[in-house]
Chain A
Amino acid sequence: MRVVIGEDLFLLRDGLVRLLEAHGFEIAAAVGSAPELLTALTELKPDVGIVDVRMPPSHTDDGLRVAIEARQIVPGLPILVLSQYVEQLYARELLADRAGGVGYLLKDRVFSDAAFASAVRDVAAGGTVVDPEVIARLIARRARSGPLAALTPREREVIALMAEGRSNAAIAARLFVTEKAVSKHAAGIFARLGLAPSDDDNRRVLAVLAYLHS
């Protein structure tokens, strides 16, 4: 699996390269500035791009803007955005095209390297992975209003974990229930959100997007 990395701090870039190589990823390019990153993403068309929000030249949200632009040029290009902070506004902008294949995680999630590697694979496969911190704040908000107000508390827990990019098995382990029970909850969520039975993965993405956008 080919990866392009955009990270301006050498230590972190080097760390990411080594971590991903250790988990069997192939590093197509590792660059340190926004213009280089845009070129690398659009020309190399990797399986997934890993992008830091704050990058030169302006040291503000250059990385994020490159990520959005690259996905406009190459629709559906899977990109995982990493940042020292997660902001609702940026999450919204990343998810705005509703195309899936998007991740938005705090940088320190890299510490759990296995979970991080699986998140990278999920994004590459078209999944949506959003940091638990974003989810936690969304839950506080969604519990009050919106289309998801119809969900039971349990279903809300399940969809929050789905949005974090967890599989049914992982959700079952986390909630101390059987995988079958999780499937049942997922079916309930899809029904309540009016998502017709089709490819399960696609419905998962749509449910998560509905959840994040509501």
Chain B
Amino acid sequence: MNNLPDMIWIELRKAIRSRMPLWTALGSLFLPLGIAFLMFVAKNPEVSKKLGLISAKADLLAYSATDWSSYLGLYGMIIAAVGFLLFVLVVSWVFGREFADGTLKDMLAVPVPRGGILLAKFTTVAIWSVALSIVIYVAGLVIGAVIKLPGGSISLILQGSTMVLVTTGLVILGVPPFAFFASVGRGYLLPIGVAVLTLMTTNLMMVVGWAEYFPWAVPGLYAQGETPLPPVSYWIVLFTALVGMLATYLWWKYADQSR
């Protein structure tokens, strides 16, 4: 694996030059800005009257995030749900593009192990995902400060930051199976489709009460932080990551690449 840095260089280079990180970062900024707008509406009843429907949602949001503590909790939830979709988009691009652009064949008969190439791809996905999380969270902090949320303290923000970071990590661990779907589907469509299905299943799991055993529901439960999760929840998430990476590796190693 002494050529891993070279492989990571390749993946980061491809990502940066494609401007995809920039677009995903801009896209993820919509979230904190949207939340800021809703909170602004909720705090200004004269605006809210003009907007009608939106104000109901804004009020709901305003009641659930009236101080720093609940506001940061909201960000954990956002990263668990919307962050998940963003990260799947990232993993779909990093893996699926080799199929969509027909560039896969040039990395198959090379004196570098396919495992190294895949590890570099997963590393890139992780770096990229963490960066997006940071963009979302920092924008959230800035907005929170601008709208002068009450009840803020350094320790509270540190606590919130840790929660957001751990949530990000848990979400990222749920993403490797989508690298497998991008490879099997040879593009972007399958992983994104499965991700939407996964979010729907997550809601279902919440309703029936099995959420703590469903790896893609665990980050959201963790972010809510109401009841501590059983250790098996974390093991399931870790196991999902390993299975996803192993499946991707086996597929890259053994599946026929005839396109």
Q: Do A and B originate from a single complex? A: no
A binding-site residues for B, Cβ under 8 Å: none
Q: What is the interface of chain B, defined by CB distance below 8 A to chain A?
A: none
